[in-house]
Amino acid sequence: MASHIVGYPRMGPKRELKFALESFWDGKSSADDLQKVAAELRSSIWKQMADAGIKYIPSNTFSYYDQVLDTTAMVGAVPERYNYTGGEIGFDIYFSMARGNASVPAMEMTKWFDTNYHFIVPELGPHTKFSYSSRKAVSEYKEAKALGIETIPILIGPVTYLLLSKPSRGAEKSFSPLSLLESILPIYKEVIAELKAAGATWIQFDEPTLVMDLQSHQLEAFTKAYSELESSLDGLDVFIETYFADIPAEAYKTVTALKGVRGFGFDLVRGTQTLDLIKTAGFPAGKYLFAGVVDGRNIWANDLASSLSILVGLEAIVGKDKLVVSTSCSLMHTAVDLVNETKLDSEIKSWLAFAAQKVVEVNALAKALAGEKDEVVLTTKGIPVSREVGFFSANAAAQSSRKSSPRVTNEEVQRDAAALKGSDHRRPTNVSARLDAQQKKLNLPILPTTTIGSFPQTMDLRRVRREYKANKISEEEYVKAIKEEISKVVKLQEEFDIDVLVHGEPERNDMVEYFGEQLSGFAFTVNGWVQSYGSRCVKPPIIYGDVSRPKAMTVFWSKTAQSMTSRPMKGMLTGPVTILNWSFVRNDQPRSETCYQIALAIKKEVEDLEAAGIQVIQIDEAALREGLPLRKSEQAFYLDWAVHSFRITNCGVHDTTQIHTHMCYSNFNDIIHSIIDMDADVITIENSRSDEKLLSVFREGVKYGAGIGPGVYDIHSPRIPSTEEIADRINKMLAVLETNILWVNPDCGLKTRKYGEVKPALSNMVAAAKLLRSQL
């Protein structure tokens, strides 16, 4: 029985790649240094999988930034503005596309399906000329081979690549990148030929778009692509990997009918109906089924007994030698290695499995299917006397301890959350009346300026937090240092003449972790990092039990900050949906239930802030959009409980308290009505990296009466926008939005930027707002 891993985290167990990348970008180390770290990471991952006994080990799952950008490099689709003149794409062009450079902004970044990973969106036009321009897949394959490890190179499939692309700047909006299928396939053929020459026997094509609601011409593209590629395969097996949701019946029919494809991978964790589909629609004879039973998106130990029974059922359909035990998707969406978790107690630890442990689970399942369950029963004269605890029985014990542990249940919370059901929660007055009442108190100019919350986090600041956590400095010293930081940020904003201030979030390591640490029902890892984009990683908390708020979480800092200025200071909270979507969530109750519990905790905080005299409270829902189910049929239900959870947090405040929310890099147009239904007074939205797509929805006539601040510049890039450029952006917004509802702000928090970038950028931003005020 064979085992397979769809993909593996690249960052390393202690974020080695992040530090190597950032040091290289800062000019502190050489390209050689970076490549060396990368090669070490790759080899240790391959060895680990080989040692665990995995048969199909992936290669080309590593990336210096993003696997979609790697594919863009592979096919040579470099947008014109980067002045690429041909040849193998090096770090220079590659990182310019990813991050921008002094003269050219970065390419757009967007969420990878419904995960918190972001990919660089390819830009293609009718004149795009593909050329084979990055041999990364082949060189990784060879690198592993040189280490004595046979791997399966992974490529993003041609159809998914094109479906994820957008029309390039010069191209018509109606241009369909999929029309380039004919011209991209020759590049894939070249790659396949080289991989074959290097000795590869299998290639994995990731085609996750197959789980989306595709139109028939899009489905036909798969048939076209893989029939065309078939001719170049001979002797080489390919399989198509899908993940993140059930594959629709139509798509299942289409791909399983592909003759040249030897196998198919399905996500049997998020895809809850695929199993039935396989049973009812059947599975093509002689083909391999890569059964994704080990969850790549969460940190819970697999329920091995239940997986085993699923696998046994599948074995009966596809045959013993054609069933491959696999992960539901790449393990890059989970944490790296539980071994490095020194602070978790042993009970919680026994409930968990990170990427390294999941590799072992996959292999254990494969062995168990082959009849090699690792349990030894010791007998005396035929009578069992003791049982050596093997992997499977330890797992079963952990599963049952999780079900019965008193740490998981809080009856009061269960009751309060249950009481919410069936009722609606809204502020009693409508938004325009509220805005009037607020304006009387706040007295803001038109085009008010603000920022999203965080200010740059310097080394010194991080050190202070670290030392306080490690008990190396006293509470008193810590409070003093944070106060100083807040005061610095307040003064700076006053100097710039920003209208609504923030305290800068210096006490926060991470916008979700900070709250999770103060709520009950959460556990924390030391090294449970997951890549978010580029070198940026997040460390999601683990929600293992019912959630409650033992005491106020942010009131002290917000009050302190407000006391330093006469301008309004925004209270700064993370919303329930974002806390949920950016955590590893318990899988023993519906997500909606967990979300309502968090909403009730945040509601208490909102009300305490208001009582402390905070007049503007921002409740970030940065991740609301990314939790949207991929399949249309499931979206309305999600939006309903997500938006409801947000409203629960602030339905109890006075009209004069201004509720802001903020959302990040996403495509909002399809959920604009839900955003309106959140009923916030002001929303600030990421915009500048999405090419002002957002504005088109208002151009098309959607009525928006609340305050809105589409980001006027991209904080993800070190580039400093000029006053003219920002003014130009604001003018574009004024063309579609009423003057009196428009806010001026960057598109996200400034945490990752340096003061050298933030100061001129904010100063230009305020200058632009003032320039326009004077012209109105």
By the criterion CB under 6 A, which residues form the site for ligand GLN?
452-454, 505, 511, 572, 620, 622, 662, 664, 748-749, 751
Q: Name the burial class of residue 331, with classes exposed (0-12), middle (13-18) and buried (19+) by CB atoms within 10 angstroms of its CB.
A: buried
Q: How many CB atoms within 10 Å of residue 305? A: 13
Which of 185, 269, 748, 750 binds Zn ion (CB under 5 A)? It is 748
Nearest-approach distance from CB 666 to Zn ion, in angstroms: 10
The smaller minimum CB distance to ligand GLN, of residues 223 and 560, is found at 560
Ligand-binding annotation for 453, yes or no, is yes
At residue 495, what are phi and psi to the nearest 5 degrees? -60, -45
The smaller minimum CB distance to Zn ion, of residues 482 and 622, is found at 622
Ligand-binding annotation for 63, yes or no, is no
User: Which range binds Zn ion by CB under 5 A, 275-283, 519-527, 591-599, 621-629?
Assistant: 621-629
Ligand-binding annotation for 224, yes or no, is no
**Residue pair 79/124 in contact by the 8 Å Cβ criterion:** no
Nearest-approach distance from CB 660 to ligand GLN, in angstroms: 10
Q: How many CB atoms within 10 Å of residue 416? A: 16
The smaller minimum CB distance to ligand GLN, of residues 426 and 754, is found at 754
Binders in 130-149 for Zn ion, by CB under 5 A: none
Ligand-binding annotation for 651, yes or no, is no
User: Which range binds Zn ion by CB under 5 A, 26-34, 77-85, 580-588, 661-669?
Assistant: 661-669
Nearest-approach distance from CB 455 to ligand GLN, in angstroms: 8
Nearest C-alpha neighbor of 613 from the set 573, 556, 574, 528 = 556
**Residue pair 405/347 in contact by the 8 Å Cβ criterion:** yes
Ligand-binding annotation for 329, yes or no, is no
Nearest-angstrom CA–CA distance, 431 and 410: 36
From ligand GLN, Zn ion, none, interface partner of 620 (C-beta below 5 to 8 A by class): ligand GLN
Q: How many CA atoms lie within 13 A of 527 on its CB side?
A: 17
Nearest-approach distance from CB 116 to Zn ion, in angstroms: 12
Residue nearest to ligand GLN (CB): 749
For the question of residue 716 being annotated catalytic, the response is: yes
Convert 79-92 to b/e letters by CB count within 10 Å (16 or more is b).
beebebeeeebeee
From Zn ion, ligand GLN, none, interface partner of 453 (C-beta below 5 to 8 A by class): ligand GLN
From ligand GLN, Zn ion, none, interface partner of 707 (C-beta below 5 to 8 A by class): none
Classify 764 as helix, strand or coil.
helix
From Zn ion, ligand GLN, none, interface partner of 697 (C-beta below 5 to 8 A by class): none
**CA geometry: angle 127, 132, 134, nearest 5 deg:** 120
Ligand-binding annotation for 537, yes or no, is yes
Nearest-approach distance from CB 422 to ligand GLN, in angstroms: 32
Rg over alpha carbons for the chain, rounded to the nearest Å, is 27
Ligand-binding annotation for 333, yes or no, is no
**Residue pair 264/242 in contact by the 8 Å Cβ criterion:** yes
Nearest-approach distance from CB 592 to ligand GLN, in angstroms: 23
Q: How many CA atoms lie within 13 A of 118 on its CB side?
A: 22
Classify 388 as helix, strand or coil.
strand
From ligand GLN, Zn ion, none, interface partner of 572 (C-beta below 5 to 8 A by class): ligand GLN
Nearest-angstrom CA–CA distance, 354 and 333: 10
The smaller minimum CB distance to Zn ion, of residues 352 and 622, is found at 622
From Zn ion, ligand GLN, none, interface partner of 595 (C-beta below 5 to 8 A by class): none
The smaller minimum CB distance to Zn ion, of residues 267 and 681, is found at 681
Nearest-angstrom CA–CA distance, 439 and 452: 20
Binders in 386-425 for Zn ion, by CB under 5 A: none
Ligand-binding annotation for 686, yes or no, is yes
Nearest C-alpha neighbor of 430 from the set 244, 747, 703, 665 = 703
The smaller minimum CB distance to ligand GLN, of residues 124 and 482, is found at 482
From ligand GLN, Zn ion, none, interface partner of 361 (C-beta below 5 to 8 A by class): none
Which of 225, 289, 572, 664 binds Zn ion (CB under 5 A)? It is 664
Nearest-approach distance from CB 505 to ligand GLN, in angstroms: 6
Nearest-angstrom CA–CA distance, 133 and 71: 10
Ligand-binding annotation for 33, yes or no, is no
Nearest-angstrom CA–CA distance, 138 and 156: 14
Convert 616-636 to b/e letters by CB count within 10 Å (16 or more is b).
bbbbbbbbbbbbbbbeeeeee
List, in sequence order, the alpha helices (H) in 199-344.
Answer: 216-233, 249-256, 274-281, 304-318
From Zn ion, ligand GLN, none, interface partner of 751 (C-beta below 5 to 8 A by class): ligand GLN
Query: Annotated catalytic residue: which of 4, 644, 660, 716?
Result: 716
Nearest-approach distance from CB 662 to ligand GLN, in angstroms: 5
The smaller minimum CB distance to Zn ion, of residues 93 and 489, is found at 489
Nearest C-alpha neighbor of 251 from the set 230, 277, 229 = 277
Beta-bridge partner residues of 379 = 384
Ligand-binding annotation for 582, yes or no, is yes
- Which residue ranges are tagged as binding site for L-methionine? 452-454, 505, 620
- Which residue ranges are tagged as binding site for L-homocysteine? 452-454, 620
- Which residue ranges are tagged as binding site for 5-methyltetrahydropteroyltri-L-glutamate? 18, 116, 536-537, 582
| Contact set with Zn ion (CB under 5 A) | 622, 664, 748
- Which residue ranges are tagged as binding site for Zn(2+)? 662, 664, 673, 677, 686, 748
* Catalytic positions: 716
